[in-house]
């Protein structure tokens, strides 16, 4: 990485077929943190304090979206350090990253083909349901944010027991806004209970299908609403409060 | 594999191992995948020696598309009959697709009309994979449009997907990082039964490949016309960015340098391009694999965007590390094209060993290996000392690579297979000295009747009927929202998209990392801060084939004028032109007349505007059952921004009370219009007058207005006229407006709303800038008229009111405009 950086180091993973790594790195950089490139084949997290698993088509979505990437050397270390009660590594999965975290068992449920069976790219309204996770403290409760989504397999599903557990523990992080006059205010893909993003019980491991890294300035995105996610993590790392505001 | 336990659950290690479609495992060592050199195949191989000894053996040259005199010329060049492999190579390289034999004599006119001043910004032009232009500060841009029409009718998804893949590799082969794609699509009638197959398939193919590749799609065209029903046009464009110093062109210099083939394996797919290769009369094709029929695979290749994505990253990393001398993508004609073009553009010869080519099938013949159009392959020339480093880069990206030959000083392209010489030719005779035809051309007798059949006799609506007509027109297939298409394309990836559909031109911020930063590429993550980079590029493509049918010379200029106007409407400075010339059967003199007229019109137009044509593509034989498509010369204009933050958007509503000004002159020009098409199914008369001086003046005003912050929104007028532009500006900005049509023009409301006069742009200017802007227009003799105001404060919600004509709620307009394609295609 070039240039002096004083902020915390946040890793961005690149698999063969990862597409949105430079976008995720840019978002990290916009917060003042230092993006650190993590290579899929290296079981080395290079002393980062959080990891972003970005979007794309890792390994061409062969076998099943995210299935192969979930077994990559770098992901085994991410899983180990995310689960370690001592390390408590914060992890964010975006789009294909969400699929990978589900495949890796860090988050429950699965992402299946969109209800209309098509790739959908559009600006999507989301409601922030949980503002105490490591990745969402910067938002006001119930805030509605405009974030691009783009996927063919973004429909979140899980069995009723898992759904009830997520709801009961406040682990639904973002929901698709389904009412209101704005464009992009419908459930785009048939996701159960309009779920767009979820997190772990302690709010440290989070994932969403829409792309906050594409909403970091209004010049290239529909808004800068996505910055809140990255700034929230920066706050948590800086204050050492990796259980969020709970 | 028979020993595999069906109940075995693979562990992680095995799962990783199945990631092998590009050869994740044992990438470099392919020794046991094919026959060792010197081991003879099951049947006799047609060698150079054998060809010389059997001069009278019959060869299927006619089935391969060669004429008698072309075959005779090959024999004359070689001094003997060609071998099977040579015949395969010549036939495919001398095809219309590769040799431009019908179009070449006309395309020369582009070069003849390019002045020195126009050449000043060109770093590479026609003849390269893609033209390259200097955009300042050491940056260069390369861009090109290419057709993939016929495969996309046969197999819409894969035809379109591999079209995107091919154009992206063309851009990559210039040493550039591909940064955006666009697609220019033309289909039969939207409600035709076959459109249900072709349209969703093509759109899904463009999206499926481009999305997986990680390139934003920033625009294009979708046009429906009956002439494309059996012959859709699928053109794909790609833009790449590079440091001027890093320009790589396709050549093989330096005796002893190694030729490396990397990417996917070479298979039997795509050989259908020369389908009779599998014919029974073709000797040498009976091999251990069995009958020829069994070997024949679908002639449309199957794309693998993941393989292309890693190929891109791998290639850029090799460029950045200085490992590449010359490079060539493998597209149409596969290795035949790559080896002959690399060798003939270099300074000597080349020796290639086909046994080293990693193949997907056992026992492929030399002709099959040379002709295969398997996707996602590249050929690089590497100095011997760097070969290991190059192979290491490939291995890191899990891209299969093999050294297949080396550059020689013999002046001959020599290819061996199983230890025998199967091809020995002067490479230029294959790649550059193919046949050139001066096909007969003639203006068809029917042209006069077509021109005489104007819209004057067509019934025009009363003012009271305009409300209904406006809703009908904005919902018609050629004017309605393209959202159903563009919402299937990723326009955000890489984070540099400033403007994409729906807009006049697509705009990309020039990313500062691009191919330039070796560190960034190696890291896999853009390391430099592009927040400081404000340079940008715009690209628009256009063609109105109806106009071109009425007057091919003017039609090509109208396409140029519209693409130019689209670029200046965003504030971009037009810098270079590319084209994709889609025409019918060149053996029809009327088609060759259309073609020659269009080329001359475009070239003369570019000379008038002072921007060079840097490259192009020709697609002929677009006809169904003897009926040719409308002549469709797609023209792409590239624009440059020194400061892309000054770009102008098409949506109104930045501030209430902005003034709407119509720049340019409106005349009664409805021949060839969308109104004539939708309401009367009519095509005849004379297309709108083209005035390139007026376009240039208009451009200067828009560029100045954008630099000085005088314009808050702009949208060009084209098909559908003023009302179409006004509706789109309201919907894009989700803001209402009030229009007052000027009373003193001598034109009725219908004509003012639907005329397609060119050289017009609808702009919104802040009230504070109105006087300064209109004074600038008047001082430069730019016609302008105040035509309305932006109305953001309507208590009844946003409305578009056209005074004395009709008033619409934006919801009503949106429903009409956006409903059409989803209703047709789901």
Looking at residue A243, its pLDDT comes to 58
Looking at residue B566, its pLDDT comes to 97
The answer, for B715 touching chain A at a CB cutoff of 8 Å, is: no
Looking at residue A5, its pLDDT comes to 52
For residue range B379-423, what is the model confidence (pLDDT) as tens digits?
Answer: 999 999 999 999 999 999 999 999 999 999 999 999 999 999 999
Rg, Å, chain A Cα set: 16
Residue range B68-74: mean pLDDT, rounded: 96
Looking at residue A61, its pLDDT comes to 86
Residue range B527-531: mean pLDDT, rounded: 44
Query: Do the Cβ atoms of A26 and B307 come within 8 Å?
Result: no
Which carries the bigger pLDDT value, residue B40 or residue B354?
B354
A1 lies in a domain? no
As a whole number of angstroms, the distance between CA B482 and CA B98 comes to 33
A59 lies in a domain? yes
Q: How far from chain centre, in Å, is Cα B363? A: 35
Query: Do the Cβ atoms of A63 and B310 come within 8 Å?
Result: no
**Phi–psi pair at B604, nearest 5 degrees:** -65, -40
Local confidence pLDDT in tens for the 246 residues of chain A: 444 557 899 999 999 999 999 999 999 999 999 999 999 999 999 999 999 999 999 998 888 889 999 999 999 999 999 999 999 999 999 999 999 999 999 999 999 999 999 999 999 999 999 999 999 999 999 999 999 999 999 999 999 999 999 999 999 999 999 988 777 789 999 999 999 999 999 999 999 999 999 999 999 999 999 999 999 999 999 998 875 433
Q: Which residues contact A226 (CB under 8 A, 6 or more apart)?
A: A27, A145, A147, A211, A212, A213, A214, A215, A216
Query: Do the Cβ atoms of B306 and A57 come within 8 Å?
Result: yes
Q: Worst-scoring range by mean pLDDT, B147-151, B181-185, B582-586, B630-634?
A: B147-151
As a whole number of angstroms, the distance between CA B520 and CA A44 comes to 19
Residue B610 has pLDDT above 60, yes or no: yes
**Is the four-CA dihedral B692, B697, B698, B703 of positive or negative sign?**
positive
Query: Do the Cβ atoms of B18 and A63 come within 8 Å?
Result: yes
Question: Taking each helix axis from N to C terminus, what angle separates B84-93 and B68-78, rounded to the nearest 10 degrees?
Answer: 120
A27 lies in a domain? yes
Number of domains in chain A: 1
Name the minimum distance, in Å, from the CA of A206 to any CA of chain B.
Answer: 21
As a whole number of angstroms, the distance between CA A101 and CA A244 comes to 20
pLDDT band at residue B268 under the 50/70/90 scheme: confident
Common-topology check for domains B41-100+248-431 and B649-826: yes
For residue range A187-238, what is the model confidence (pLDDT) as tens digits?
Answer: 999 999 999 999 999 999 999 999 999 999 999 999 999 999 999 999 999 9
Q: Kindly provide the b/e burial profile for residues A106-140, where b requires at least 16 CB atoms within 10 angstroms of the residue's own CB.
A: bbbbbbbebeeebbbbbbbbbbbbbbbbbbbbbbe
Domain with A86 in it: 9-239
Residue B33 has pLDDT above 80, yes or no: no
Mutate: best of B177, B524, B798, partner A, most A CBs <10 A: B524
Residue range B212-226: mean pLDDT, rounded: 96
Reduced to 3 states, what is the DSSP secondary structure of residue B742?
coil
A53 lies in a domain? yes
Judge whether B148 counts as a catalytic residue: yes
Rg, Å, chain B Cα set: 28
**Residues of A with Cβ-Cβ distance to B211 under 8 angstroms:** 57, 119, 121, 150, 152
Closest CA to B753 of B679, B670, B820: B670
The answer to whether residues B342 and B260 touch, using CB atoms and an 8 Å cutoff, is: no
What tokens were used for B87? 């015949």
Looking at residue B250, its pLDDT comes to 62
Residue B735 has pLDDT above 90, yes or no: yes
**Is the four-CA dihedral B148, B152, B156, B162 of positive or negative sign?**
negative
Query: Do the Cβ atoms of A17 and B645 come within 8 Å?
Result: no
Q: Which of B211, B495, B524 sits opposite A14 (nearest CB)?
A: B524
Query: Do the Cβ atoms of B488 and A18 come within 8 Å?
Result: no
Q: Which residues contact A117 (CB under 8 A, 6 or more apart)?
A: none
pLDDT band at residue B249 under the 50/70/90 scheme: low
DSSP for B77-129 reads HHTSPPPHHHHHHHHHHTSHHHH-TTTHHHHHHHHHT--HHHHTTEEE-BTBS
Q: Which of residues 719-738 of B touch A (CB under 8 A)?
A: 734
Query: Do the Cβ atoms of A23 and B494 come within 8 Å?
Result: yes
Strands in A91-94's sheet, in edge-to-edge order, are A34-39, A9-14, A50-53, A91-94, A205-208, A195-199, A172-176, A120-128, A144-151
Percent of chain B at pLDDT > 90 equals 75
Residue range B548-553: mean pLDDT, rounded: 98
Looking at residue A181, its pLDDT comes to 75
As a whole number of angstroms, the distance between CA B182 and CA B203 comes to 12
For residue range B328-338, what is the model confidence (pLDDT) as tens digits?
Answer: 889 878 999 99
Looking at residue B545, its pLDDT comes to 98
Residue B521 has pLDDT above 90, yes or no: no
pLDDT band at residue B41 under the 50/70/90 scheme: very low
Q: Kindly provide the b/e burial profile for residues B631-640, where b requires at least 16 CB atoms within 10 angstroms of the residue's own CB.
A: bbbbbbbbbb
Which superfamily, per CATH, for B649-826?
PurM-like C-terminal domain (3.90.650.10)
Q: How far from chain centre, in Å, is Cα B492? A: 20
CATH code of the domain covering residue A175: 3.40.50.880
Q: Within 10 Å of residue B126's Cβ, how many Cβ atoms?
A: 18
Q: Which of A26, A120, A219 sits opposite B526 (nearest CB)?
A: A26
What tokens were used for B711? 């314009």
Reduced to 3 states, what is the DSSP secondary structure of residue B246?
helix
A145 lies in a domain? yes
Residue B656 has pLDDT above 90, yes or no: no
Q: How far apart are the first and last CA of chain A?
A: 34
Name the minimum distance, in Å, from the CA of A95 to any CA of chain B.
Answer: 12
Q: Which of B398, B525, B645 sits opposite A35 (nearest CB)?
A: B525
Looking at residue B149, its pLDDT comes to 93
As a whole number of angstroms, the distance between CA B119 and CA B206 comes to 33
CATH of domain B41-100+248-431: 3.90.650.10
**Residue ranges per structural domain of chain B:** 41-100+248-431, 649-826
Q: Which of B8, B49, B56, B148 is catalytic?
A: B148
């Amino acid at each position: 990485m070039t240039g002096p950086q004083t902020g915390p180091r946040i890793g961005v993973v690149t698999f063969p077929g990862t597409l949105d790594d430079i976008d995720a790195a840019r978002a990290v950089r916009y917060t003042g943190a230092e993006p650190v490139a993590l290579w899929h084949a290296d079981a080395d997290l290079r002393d980062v304090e959080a990891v972003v698993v970005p979007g794309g088509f890792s390994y061409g979505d062969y076998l099943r979206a995210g299935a192969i990437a979930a077994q990559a050397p770098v992901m085994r270390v991410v899983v180990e350090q995310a689960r370690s009660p001592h390390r408590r590594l914060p992890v964010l999965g975006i789009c294909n990253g969400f699929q990978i975290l589900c495949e890796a068992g860090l988050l429950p449920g699965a992402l299946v083909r969109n209800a209309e069976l098509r790739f959908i790219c559009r600006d999507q309204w989301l409601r922030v349901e949980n503002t105490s996770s490591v990745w969402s403290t910067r938002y006001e409760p119930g805030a509605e944010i405009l974030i691009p989504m783009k996927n063919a397999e973004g429909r979140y599903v899980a069995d009723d027991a898992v759904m009830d557990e997520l709801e009961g523990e406040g682990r639904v992080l973002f929901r698709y806004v389904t009412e209101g006059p704005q464009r992009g205010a419908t459930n785009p893909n048939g996701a159960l209970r309009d779920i767009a993003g979820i997190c772990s019980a302690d709010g440290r491991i989070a994932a969403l299908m829409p792309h906050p890294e594409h909403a970091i300035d209004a010049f290239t995105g529909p808004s800068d609403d996505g910055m809140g996610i990255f700034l929230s993590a920066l706050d948590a790392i800086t204050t050492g409060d990796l259980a969020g505001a709970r | 594999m028979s020993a595999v336990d069906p109940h075995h659950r693979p562990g992680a290690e095995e799962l990783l191992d199945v990631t092998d479609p590009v050869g994740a495992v044992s990438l470099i060592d392919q020794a046991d995948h094919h026959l060792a050199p010197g081991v003879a195949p099951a049947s006799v191989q047609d060698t150079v020696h054998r060809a010389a000894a059997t001069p009278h053996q019959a060869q299927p040259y006619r089935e391969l598309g060669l004429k008698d005199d072309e075959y005779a010329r090959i024999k004359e060049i070689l001094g003997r009959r060609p071998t099977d492999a040579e015949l395969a190579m010549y036939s495919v390289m001398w095809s219309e697709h590769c040799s431009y034999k019908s179009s070449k004599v006309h395309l020369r006119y582009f070069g003849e009309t390019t002045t020195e001043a126009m050449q000043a910004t060109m770093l590479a032009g026609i003849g390269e994979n893609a033209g390259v232009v200097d955009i300042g500060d050491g940056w260069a841009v390369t861009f090109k449009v290419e057709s993939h029409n016929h495969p996309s009718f046969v197999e819409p998804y894969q035809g379109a997907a591999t079209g995107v893949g091919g154009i992206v590799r063309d851009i990559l082969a210039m040493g550039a990082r591909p940064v955006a794609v666009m697609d220019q699509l033309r289909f039969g009638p939207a409600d035709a039964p076959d459109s249900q197959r072709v349209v969703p398939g093509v759109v899904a193919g463009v999206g499926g490949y481009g999305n997986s590749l990680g390139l934003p799609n920033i625009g294009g065209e979708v046009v429906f016309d009956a002439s494309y029903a059996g012959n859709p046009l699928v053109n794909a464009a790609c833009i790449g960015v590079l440091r001027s110093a890093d320009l790589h062109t396709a050549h093989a210099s330096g005796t002893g340098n190694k030729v490396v083939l990397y990417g996917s394996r070479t298979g039997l797919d795509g050989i259908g391009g020369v389908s009779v290769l599998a014919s029974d009369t073709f000797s040498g094709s009976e091999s251990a694999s069995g009958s020829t029929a069994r070997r024949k695979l679908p002639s449309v290749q199957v794309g693998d965007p993941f393989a292309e994505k890693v190929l891109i990253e791998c290639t850029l990393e090799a460029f950045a590390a200085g490992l590449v001398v010359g490079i060539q993508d493998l597209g149409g004609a596969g290795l035949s094209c790559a080896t002959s073009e690399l060798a003939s553009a270099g300074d000597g010869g080349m020796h290639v060993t086909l046994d080293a080519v990693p193949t997907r099938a056992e026992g492929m013949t030399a002709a099959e290996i040379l002709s295969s159009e398997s996707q996602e392959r590249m050929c690089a020339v590497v100095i011997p000392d760097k070969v290991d480093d190059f192979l290491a880069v490939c291995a890191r990206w899990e891209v299969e690579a093999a050294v297949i030959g080396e550059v020689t000083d013999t002046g001959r392209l020599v290819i061996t297979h199983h230890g025998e010489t199967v091809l020995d030719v002067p490479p230029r005779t294959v790649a550059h000295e193919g046949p050139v035809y001066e096909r007969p051309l003639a203006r068809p007798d029917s042209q006069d009747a077509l021109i005489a059949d104007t819209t004057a006799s067509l019934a025009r609506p009363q003012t009271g009927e305009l409300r209904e007509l406006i809703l009908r027109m904005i919902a018609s297939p050629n004017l309605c929202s393209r959202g159903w298409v563009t919402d299937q394309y990723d326009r955000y990836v890489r984070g540099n998209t400033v403007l994409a559909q729906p807009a006049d031109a697509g705009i990309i911020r020039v990313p500062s990392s691009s191919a330039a930063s070796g560190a960034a590429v190696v890291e896999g993550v853009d390391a430099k801060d592009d927040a400081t980079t404000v340079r940008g590029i715009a690209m628009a493509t256009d063609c109105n084939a109806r106009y071109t049918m009425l007057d091919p010379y003017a039609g090509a200029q109208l396409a140029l004028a519209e693409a130019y106007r689209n670029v200046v409407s965003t504030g971009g400075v037009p810098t270079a032109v590319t084209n994709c010339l889609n025409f019918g059967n060149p053996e029809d003199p009327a088609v060759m007349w259309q073609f020659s007229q269009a080329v001359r019109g475009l070239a003369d137009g570019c000379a008038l505007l002072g921007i060079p044509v840097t490259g192009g593509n020709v697609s002929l034989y677009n006809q169904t059952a003897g009926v040719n498509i409308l002549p469709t010369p797609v023209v792409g204009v590239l624009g440059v921004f020194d400061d892309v933050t000054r770009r102008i958007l098409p949506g109104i509503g930045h501030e209430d009370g902005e003034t709407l000004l119509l720049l340019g002159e409106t005349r009664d020009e409805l021949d060839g219009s969308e109104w004539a098409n939708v309401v009367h199914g009519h095509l005849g008369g004379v297309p709108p007058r083209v005035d390139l001086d007026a376009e240039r003046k208009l451009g200067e005003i828009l560029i100045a207005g954008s630099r000085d912050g005088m314009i808050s929104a702009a949208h060009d007028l084209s098909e559908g006229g003023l009302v179409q532009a006004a509706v789109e500006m309201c919907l894009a900005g989700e803001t209402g407006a009030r229009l007052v049509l000027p009373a003193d023009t001598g034109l009725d409301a219908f004509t003012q709303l639907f005329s397609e006069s060119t050289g017009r742009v609808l702009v919104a200017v802040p009230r504070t800038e109105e006087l300064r802007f209109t004074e600038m227009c008047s001082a430069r003799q730019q016609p302008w008229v105040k035509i309305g105001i932006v109305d953001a404060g309507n208590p009844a919600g946003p409305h578009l009111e056209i005074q004395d004509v009709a008033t619409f709620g934006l919801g009503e307009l949106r429903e009409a405009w956006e409903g059409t394609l989803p209703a047709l295609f789901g």
